[in-house]
């Protein structure tokens, strides 16, 4: 127990959260594309990946082969 004049040091832990979030996002995108290439319907992909239909449409349209950028 600390008395009135004692202090303790807190050492911050730096966790690269943005890197982790980006990795999770990339993994979900890759899973969406994999399932799409396997012939799954968008509704099935949404249930499996827990990604919205709109986001799945965006992912698929970005990476559709032959798309002109």
For residue 45, pLDDT beyond 90: yes
Query: Which one-letter DSSP state was computed for residue 9?
Result: -
For residue 69, pLDDT beyond 50: no
Report if residue 7 sits inside a domain.
no
Report if residue 17 sits inside a domain.
no
Report if residue 6 sits inside a domain.
no
Report if residue 2 sits inside a domain.
no
Report if residue 39 sits inside a domain.
yes
> For the chain, how many structural domains are there in total?
1
Domain extent, residue 48, equals 33-69
For residue 64, pLDDT beyond 90: no
Report if residue 69 sits inside a domain.
yes
CA-closest candidate to residue 26, choices 67, 59, 69: 59
Model pLDDT for residues 13-42, shown as the tens digit of each residue: 665 667 777 888 899 999 999 999 999 999
- Reading the block at residue 41, the tokens are 């319907």
Q: Report if pTM > 0.85.
A: no
Report if residue 66 sits inside a domain.
yes
């Amino acid at each position: 127990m600390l008395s009135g004049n004692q202090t303790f040091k807190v050492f911050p832990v730096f966790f690269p959260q943005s890197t982790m979030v980006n990795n999770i996002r990339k993994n979900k995108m890759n899973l969406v594309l994999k399932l799409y290439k396997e012939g799954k319907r968008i509704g099935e992909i949404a249930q499996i990946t827990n990604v919205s239909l709109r986001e799945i449409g965006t992912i698929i349209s970005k990476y559709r082969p032959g798309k002109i950028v």
